[in-house]
């Protein structure tokens, strides 16, 4: 990681100055814009839920500082030459950073027929984008860690530069699937190119970290398997950006697993089941980043307020549009039970 240059941002033009630490102003602005957009998107989703425009909310407010850099750093595309993503239900920041249209998240919340991720079948935040190798998010905790080894194995066999990235929470690491991922990805001579991410918000639903872990750091579990590991402050976009870049570069070139634990916040509780109200006693990565940007005079408070107001209005308008979109028809329950072609195998 590069060290922070002296703070002379005020003397420089905002497009070239180092906004904070090792990030160029351009990157910092990009990160901020996406973090803010993801936050406002999640707030809109929560409002939709509270107003009865959706049955359930779960999402990622509090993880933007980590998830946005992740989305910017993946090699996005379809097939073995690109990265595969096996995410969980808090990944809106990653998807937005990859270029997903936020209105599609609203469609999934409202379970409209136009929901591109699940056609009105699945909860909010359950993304699926085959053209970007984003494997379907499914509700059972931790299963993605058992599935990720398969896409990584396929990349190994083809000898591509693509890697597999898998992400989930801290409590879920108690499931056998996490051990599966560690065991299968680290076999000597058969290592798999997987970036194993744990976003640690220190809770299951209500059970605190201490109630379910004996290990002091989840990342330490990787050490027994000879893995590179790190535990980082996932509330800091700069730290996250550099740590992710380092880990991704390592996995891409070494073709070996890397276990990255990011400490993050859970700003609206677990899900709508626990009320989805803002929690005041956790670090808010966006507030913290905005303070820094303001101090370094990269953006003024007024500019950021204006951006927030603009996105709030944009997503409000989008939600009004989505409200008018048709719901799936009852008879569509029978669609897509069986495939008639091998789409993942290249047939169309």
Partner 1 sequence: MATMVQAIRMALHVGESKLGVTDIFGEDVGPPLGGVFTATQGLETTWNTPLDERGIVGMAIGLALAGRKPVAEIQFCDYAFNTVDLLKIAGNTYWSSGGDWNVPLVMMTPVGAGIRGSIYHSHSFDAQATRIPGWKIVMPSNPRDAYGLLLSAIKDPNPVMFLKPKALLRAKGKPGEEIPGEPGDDKTLSKMIDAPLGDRTKWRPEWPKLEELYIPIGKARIARPGTQVTVLTYGRNVPMCVAAAEELAADNIDAEIVDLRSLHPYDWDAIKQSVMKTNRVLCVNEDTEITNFGEHLIRRIVEELFYELHAPPKLLAGAHLPGIGLADALEHASVPQKDGIKRAIAELAKHEP
Ligand X SMILES: Cc1ncc(C[n+]2csc(CCOP(=O)(O)OP(=O)(O)O)c2C)c(N)n1
Q: How far is the CB of 274 from ligand X (least distance, A)?
A: 11
169 binds, among ligand X, partner 1, none (CB under 5 to 8 A by kind): ligand X
Which tokens go with 82?
């690109």
301 binds, among partner 1, ligand X, none (CB under 5 to 8 A by kind): none
Binding of ligand X by 169 (CB under 6 A): yes
According to DSSP, the β-strands at 194-200 and 23-24 are: unpaired
Q: How far is the CB of 164 from partner 1 (least distance, A)?
A: 8
Q: Which one, of 81, 16, 30, lies nearest residue 241 by Cα?
A: 30
266 in Cβ contact with 238 (< 8 Å): no
Task: Give the binding site for partner 1 (CB under 8 A).
Answer: 79-80, 84, 115-119, 121-122, 126, 128-130, 135-136, 138, 140, 143, 145-155, 157, 164, 176-177, 180, 183-184, 187, 335-347
Task: Give me the residue whose beta carbon is nearest to ligand X.
Answer: 169
210 binds, among partner 1, ligand X, none (CB under 5 to 8 A by kind): none
Binding of ligand X by 149 (CB under 6 A): no
According to DSSP, the β-strands at 194-200 and 164-169 are: parallel
CA dihedral angle for residue 103, residue 109, residue 111, residue 113, rounded to 10 degrees: 10
Binding of ligand X by 100 (CB under 6 A): no
Cβ closer to partner 1: 157 or 280?
A: 157
264 in Cβ contact with 279 (< 8 Å): no
Binding of ligand X by 171 (CB under 6 A): yes
312 binds, among ligand X, partner 1, none (CB under 5 to 8 A by kind): none
How far is it, in rounded angstroms, from Cα 72 to Cα 78?
A: 16
171 binds, among partner 1, ligand X, none (CB under 5 to 8 A by kind): ligand X
Count CA within 13 A, CB hemisphere, residue 180: 14
Q: Which one, of 136, 124, 146, lies nearest residue 54 by Cα?
A: 124
Q: How far is the CB of 172 from partner 1 (least distance, A)?
A: 13
91 in Cβ contact with 67 (< 8 Å): yes
Binding of ligand X by 90 (CB under 6 A): yes
């Amino acid at each position: 990681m590069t060290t922070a240059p002296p703070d002379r941002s005020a003397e420089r033009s905002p497009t070239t100055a180092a906004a904070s630490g090792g990030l160029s102003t351009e990157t910092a602005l990009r990160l901020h814009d996406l973090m803010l957009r993801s936050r406002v998107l999640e707030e809109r989703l929560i409002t939709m839920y509270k107003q009865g425009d959706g049955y359930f909310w779960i999402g990622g407010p509090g993880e933007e500082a980590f998830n946005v850099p992740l989305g910017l750093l993946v090699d996005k595309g379809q097939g073995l030459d690109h990265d595969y993503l096996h995410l969980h239900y808090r990944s809106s920041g990653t998807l937005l950073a990859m270029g997903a249209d936020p209105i599609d998240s609203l469609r999934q919340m409202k379970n409209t027929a136009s929901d591109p991720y699940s056609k009105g079948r699945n909860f909010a935040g359950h993304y699926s984008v085959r053209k970007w190798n984003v494997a379907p998010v499914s509700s059972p905790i931790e299963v993605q860690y058992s599935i990720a080894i398969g896409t990584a194995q396929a990349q190994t066999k083809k000898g591509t530069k693509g890697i597999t990235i898998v992400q989930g929470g801290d409590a879920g690491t108690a499931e056998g699937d996490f051990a599966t991922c560690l065991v299968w990805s680290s076999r000597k001579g058969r290592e798999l190119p997987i970036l194993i991410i744990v976003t640690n918000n220190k809770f299951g639903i209500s059970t605190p970290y201490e109630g379910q872990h004996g290990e002091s750091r989840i990342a330490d579990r990787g050490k027994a398997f000879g893995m590179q590991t790190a535990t980082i402050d996932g509330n800091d976009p700069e730290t996250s950006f550099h740590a992710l870049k380092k880990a991704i570069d390592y996995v891409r070139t070494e073709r070996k697993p890397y276990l990255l634990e990011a400490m993050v916040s859970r700003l609206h509780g677990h899900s709508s089941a626990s009320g989805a109200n803002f929690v005041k006693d956790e670090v808010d990565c966006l507030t913290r980043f905005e303070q820094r940007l303001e101090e370094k005079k990269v953006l003024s408070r007024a500019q950021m307020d204006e951006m927030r107001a603009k996105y709030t209005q944009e997503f409000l308008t989008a939600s009004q549009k989505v409200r008018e979109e048709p719901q799936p028809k009852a008879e569509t329950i029978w669609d897509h039970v069986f495939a008639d072609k091998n789409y993942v195998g290249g047939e169309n």
